[in-house]
Chains A and B, each alone.
Chain A
Amino acid sequence: NAGVTQTPKFQVLKTGQSMTLQCAQDMNHEYMSWYRQDPGMGLRLIHYSVGAGITDQGEVPNGYNVSRSTTEDFPLRLLSAAPSQTSVYFCASSYSPKGSYNEQFFGPGTRLTVL
Chain B
Amino acid sequence: GQQVMQIPQYQHVQEGEDFTTYCNSSTTLSNIQWYKQRPGGHPVFLIQLVKSGEVKKQKRLTFQFGEAKKNSSLHITATQTTDVGTYFCAGPVHSGYALNFGKGTSLLVTP
CB distance from A81 to the nearest CB of B (A): 22
Contact of B33 among A33, A103, A105, A106 (CB under 8 A): A103
Question: Which of B12-20, B58-66, B95-103 sits within the interface?
Answer: B95-103
Residues in chain B near residue A107, CB distance under 8 A: 42
User: Known interface pairs A40-B9, A40-B103, A43-B88. Does A101 touch B48 (Cβ–Cβ under 8 Å)?
Assistant: yes
Interface size on A, as a range, is 20 to 34
Residues in chain B near residue A44, CB distance under 8 A: 101
User: Known interface pairs A40-B9, A43-B88, A43-B101. Does A102 touch B96 (Cβ–Cβ under 8 Å)?
Assistant: yes
Residues 34-49 of chain B, each 1 if its beta carbon lies under 8 Å from chain A, else 0: 0100000111110010
User: Known interface pairs A106-B43, A106-B44, A109-B42. Does A97 touch B101 (Cβ–Cβ under 8 Å)?
Assistant: no
Residues in chain B near residue A42, CB distance under 8 A: 88, 101-104
Q: B77 at the A/B interface (Cβ < 8 Å)?
A: no
How far does the alpha carbon of A44 sit from the alpha carbon of B102 in the complex, in Å? 9
Contact: A48 with B92, CB < 8 Å? no
Contact: A97 with B92, CB < 8 Å? yes
Nearest to A101 among chain B residues (CB) is B48
How far does the alpha carbon of A90 sit from the alpha carbon of B43 in the complex, in Å? 9
The dominant DSSP class at the A interface is: strand
Q: A78 at the A/B interface (Cβ < 8 Å)?
A: no
Q: B68 at the A/B interface (Cβ < 8 Å)?
A: no
Contact: B93 with A45, CB < 8 Å? yes
Residues in chain A near residue B9, CB distance under 8 A: 40
Contact: A58 with B94, CB < 8 Å? yes
Contact: B45 with A108, CB < 8 Å? no
Chain A residues numbered 7-53 whose CB sits less than 8 Å from any CB in chain B: 31, 33, 35, 40-45, 48, 50
Chain B residues within CB distance 8 Å of chain A: 1, 9, 30-31, 33, 35, 41-45, 48, 50, 88, 90, 92-104
Instruction: List, sorted by A's number, 6 A–B pairs whose CB atoms are closer than 8 Å.
Output: A45-B94, A100-B30, A101-B48, A102-B96, A104-B33, A109-B42
Q: Which 7 A-B pairs have the closest CB atoms?
A: A42-B103, A97-B96, A106-B42, A43-B101, A48-B98, A103-B45, A42-B101
